Structure 1
Amino acid sequence: MTGDPKETDEIRNSRAAREARSIVKFMIEHTAYGGFGALVFGALVLFFDIGGIYSLAMASRDAPIFIMLLFFGLFITFGGISLGIGIMNLGGFSDNDRYEDERKSHRNDRNDGRGE
Structure 2
Amino acid sequence: MTDQNHDPHNDARNSQAAREARSIVKFMIEHTAYGGFGALVFGALVLYFDIGGIYSLATSSRDAPIFIFLLFFGLFVTFGSISLGVGIMTLGGFSDDDRYRDERTRNRNSDDRK
TM range (shorter): 0.7 to 0.9
Query: Corresponding residue for 2:65?
Result: 64
Query: Corresponding residue for 1:75?
Result: 76
Query: Corresponding residue for 1:35?
Result: 36
Q: TM-score, length-normalised on structure 2? A: 0.79
Instruction: Kindly indicate whether residue 70 of structure 2 is the aligned counterpart of residue 93 of structure 1.
Output: no
Query: Corresponding residue for 1:25?
Result: 26
Q: CA deviation at 1:101?
A: 2.1
Q: Runs in 1 of length 4+ with deviation above 3 angstroms?
A: none
Structure 2: where are the runs of 5+ without partners? 106-114
Say what the alpha-carbon RMSD is for the aligned residues: 2.0
Post-superposition Cα deviations, 1:33-68, rounded to whole Å, max 9, x if no partner, equal 000000000000000000000000001000000000
Query: Corresponding residue for 2:13?
Result: 12
* Equivalent position amino acid for 1:29 in 2: E
User: What does 1:46-57 correspond to in 2, within 5 Å?
Assistant: 46-57=47-58
In the aligned structure 2, how far is the partner of 1:23 from the partner of 1:34?
A: 17
Q: TM-score, length-normalised on structure 1? A: 0.78
Query: Corresponding residue for 1:102?
Result: 101
Higher helix share: 2
